[in-house]
Chains A and B, each alone.
Chain A
């Protein structure tokens, strides 16, 4: 099932320069004049067994506008850094992460201020280090900033806000990616489908030095008999 819609193009823009074009795309002149950013749009209508009350919650979340365009672009840039697209299974932008992050931050109100404040902190830090806000500096400079805040064991007190914010973006990016078809492919997840569980594959058991002992196996379903009607004797012994 491919629920993705069309691509939306966003150009990296300094905060002051964003203009909404009639096509629904964002465009602006960049300081370095070269980069643009695109991502797969996620649907805004879902059907997944909701009650009426739940449908109303979802609808109001989709209708709500929380992030400014520049904030959304900043999120997109961070998602792209965290899980780049240059991979056979695609990356954050292919998986529509900016839309997902935007939805989740609205859905989990405790993240709203953390995200907005984190982006503001990022811009302030970028100005301190490189003289311009995060979207206006070069890609190499952005990566240097990420190097400062991507490691939670870093103890410098002045970086802690950034570290927490980056951790939030990393969590949302990974969870958002691995809950899409691209992420399933990347992980190799094979479940969520009817099957017959008949134990750990032999070669896996061997590798782990484990085995099923016969006494335990005697208590387990012999799968070829699963469709045979269960019958017991009067002493609680299954006899079919």
Chain B
């Protein structure tokens, strides 16, 4: 039997890899999809966490090292993986989340699905920092439109220039605490609009179910009413004969021929730790920004001494993550609530997009606000510091006995929280590179991070803190905790912590200062493409998934066209 030569080998099954698989397979290409983690199906009883009660777990949903976001979060992966370390340069504290499952991180994300706006692709024109993308909103808009319709996203058309309209499904109605936030924001002339999330509030096809409002998107949905790469993009391709799915397969490197062209991948079969090879006419790397950089850097050969696609020494550089800060308040108006089911969709129903574009501030990029609160399902941590709010009511904190039951009910659902997510300024010196002396359990050199926030991000966090205080108080809240000061970077999250890392293989027109062209094609190797957030030149204050999907679709179209023209 002749050796199988795939039209495309796709590394990674998250948003980018899933979209590439869907598009290339539907175009008739023979595809190998290589995933380092296990097969995952949220409806499979041995993997299901959706609709489980807290008492089905001995730790009642508490987090573990293996599930950092809690027992029932559908993530398989985390900040630390056994046998797969990463290291830090100097005093860097980059946090690196790796999903290890079919569908990757799309199984447990917040489903916040925001288009980048026209300004987001041309930030250098606005503030002189970083670089412009080689494409603008007009180039990507048709793909956002198609993604909206294929995958489904609820939201509302607001006519905001830099938060573009889309083909939205209707939004869910706000919950009570969100109505308090809406009134507070309006008092301060801060905009507030329905959230934008890839959750089906309305039917878009006959394959997927419509949301039944359990509020558990982070557990992945058994009826596929939310978007996961696996359930929405990959499963439909698995029975057509076009896709060979290889799970538990950890790619070591992309192989090349004497001309420097890619010939396939070498990977480790995690079941038997044997090294194996796949052959392909093209390789699409979508392993997530940092893993993609790692694979490219580890793909060294005589023609690519510095790693694949790295003649510019830009692979791994311009790594950047969203900024974040958060604050919470106690709303006395929400004490002693009537209790009813307000689980709703997973997470917020309303949010505030960036509203100070063009204002003179001591930082340059924007942020949006995500709203939290409500009468969620009790899980580990519920009832901690049970009556701490008594101090705001002039009553004694602490105690024991049946009066604690009254305290529980009295304060249930009386908390309002805000989390900010902002854009950082990409830096040449913020990077991941190969650690010269550390390897993982398969002998593959690991990444070493070197990342520092600039004053822009720190000043932005200070502004976030001021904003959150004003909004929470305007909503009727009594602020909890204390405002973090300069000594704590104003509560700014650690680099990597928001899990929006992008930029490590950025696109551009100049091969000396970028890794890929506008289609994610390596400048150095015509048959290797990047289809994850590595290609982002800048990340906007928007969650990256919708843009990953749109770009991956655009890249897939380009691959199909280039193959037709026999250029690859």
Asked if B168 and A189 make an inter-chain contact with CB atoms under 8 angstroms apart, the answer reads: no
The reply to whether the CB of A155 lies closer than 8 angstroms to some CB of chain B is no
User: When the two chains form the complex, which single residue of A89, A166, A178, A191 contacts B382, counting CB atoms closer than 8 Å?
Assistant: A178
In the complex, which residues of chain A have a beta carbon less than 8 angstroms from the beta carbon of B402? Answer: 83-84, 86-87
Alpha-carbon separation in the docked complex, A44 to B57 (Å): 10
A226–B209 CA distance with the chains assembled, in angstroms: 10
Chain A positions 163 through 198: 1 when the CB is less than 8 Å from some CB of chain B, otherwise 0: 000110011001111111101101111111111111
Within 8 A of B (CB), among A96-118: 100, 103-104, 107-108
CB pair A3–B55 under 8 Å, yes or no, is yes
Interface size on A, as a range, is: 35 or more
Q: In this assembly, does B260 line the interface, its C-beta being within 8 Å of a C-beta of chain A? A: no
Complex Cα gap A238–B156 (Å): 10
- A237 partner residues in chain B, CB cutoff 8 A: 157
A180: which B residues are within 8 A, CB to CB?
A: 54-55
- Complex contact A220–B172 (CB within 8 A): yes
B204 touches A230 (CB 8 A): yes
Chain A 12-45 against B: per-residue CB contact (8 Å), 1 yes, 0 no? 0000000000000000000000000000001010
Chain B residues within 8 Å of A54, by CB: 64, 66-67
Residues of B within 8 A of A230 (CB): 152, 169, 202-204
Least CB distance, A19 to chain B, in whole angstroms = 28
User: For this complex, into which size category does the number of interface residues on chain B fall?
Assistant: 35 or more
Closest chain-A Cβ to B387's Cβ sits at a distance in Å of 10
**Chain A residues touching B, majority SS:** loop
Q: Which residues of A contact B381 (CB under 8 A)?
A: 175
A72 on interface, CB distance cutoff 8 Å:
no
CB of A63 closer than 8 Å to a CB of B: no
Residues 191-236 of A contacting B (Cβ, < 8 Å) = 191-201, 203-205, 207-208, 210, 212, 216-217, 219-222, 225-230, 232, 236
User: Is residue A66 within 8 Å, beta carbon to beta carbon, of the partner chain?
Assistant: no
Contact sample, A vs B, 27 pairs, CB 8 Å cutoff: A46-B56, A48-B49, A48-B52, A49-B46, A57-B66, A83-B401, A83-B405, A84-B402, A87-B405, A107-B58, A152-B397, A171-B384, A171-B385, A175-B378, A175-B381, A183-B378, A187-B412, A191-B376, A197-B341, A197-B345, A204-B176, A216-B194, A219-B171, A221-B172, A227-B202, A230-B169, A238-B167
Contact of B383 among A175, A190, A229 (CB under 8 A): A175
User: Which residues does A use to contact B, with CB under 8 Å?
Assistant: 1, 3, 42, 44, 46-49, 51, 53-54, 57-58, 61-62, 81-84, 86-87, 89, 100, 103-104, 107-108, 146, 150-153, 166-167, 170-171, 174-181, 183-184, 186-201, 203-205, 207-208, 210, 212, 216-217, 219-222, 225-230, 232, 236-238
Q: Beyond A53-B66, A103-B58, A151-B397, is A174–B404 a contact (Cβ under 8 Å)? A: yes
- Decide if B340 is an interface residue (CB 8 Å cutoff): yes
Given the known interface contacts A221-B169, A236-B157, the answer about A151 and B399 at a Cβ–Cβ threshold of 8 Å is: yes
Indicate if the CB atoms of A200 and B342 lie closer than 8 Å: yes
Task: Tell me the interface secondary structure of chain B in the complex.
Answer: loop
Q: How far is the CA of A207 from the CA of B338 in the complex (A)?
A: 10
Q: Which residue of B lies closest to A207 (CB)?
A: B338
Q: Is B180 at the interface (CB under 8 A from chain A)?
A: yes
Q: How far does the Cβ of A14 sit from chain B's closest Cβ, in whole Å?
A: 23
Given contacts A81-B401, A200-B175, A228-B203, contact A48 B38 (CB under 8 A): no
8 Å CB interface, B41-60 against A: 45-49, 51-60
Are B175 and A227 touching (Cβ within 8 A)? no
Contact A174 B166 (CB under 8 A): no
Contact A146 B152 (CB under 8 A): no
- A6, B354: Cα distance in complex, Å: 57
Given A187-B412, A191-B214, verify A82-B202 contact (CB < 8 Å): no
Smallest CB-CB separation from A78: which chain B residue? Answer: B400
In the assembled complex, which residues on chain B have CB atoms less than 8 Å from the CB atom of A227?
Answer: 202-203, 210
CA distance A46 to B377 in the complex (A): 20
B142 to chain A, nearest CB (A): 12
> In the complex the two chains form, is B202's CB within 8 Å of A107's CB?
no
Distance of B533 from chain A, by nearest CB (Å):
25
Contact A48 B71 (CB under 8 A): yes
B383 partner residues in chain A, CB cutoff 8 A = 171, 174-175, 177-178
In this complex, what residue of A is CB-closest to B182?
A: A216
What is the 8 Å Cβ interface bit string for chain B, positions 472-491, against chain A (1 contact, 0 not)? 00000000000000000000
Whole-angstrom distance between the alpha carbons of A194 and B216 in the complex? 11
Report B148-174 residues with CB < 8 Å from chain A CB: 149, 152, 154, 156-157, 165-174
- CB distance B212 to A188 under 8 Å? no
Contact residues in B for A181 (Cβ distance below 8 Å): 53, 55
Contact B201 A226 (CB under 8 A): yes
Contacts of A236 in B (CB 8 A): 157, 165-168
Q: Which of A47, A152, A200, A229 touches B204 (beta carbons < 8 Å)?
A: A229
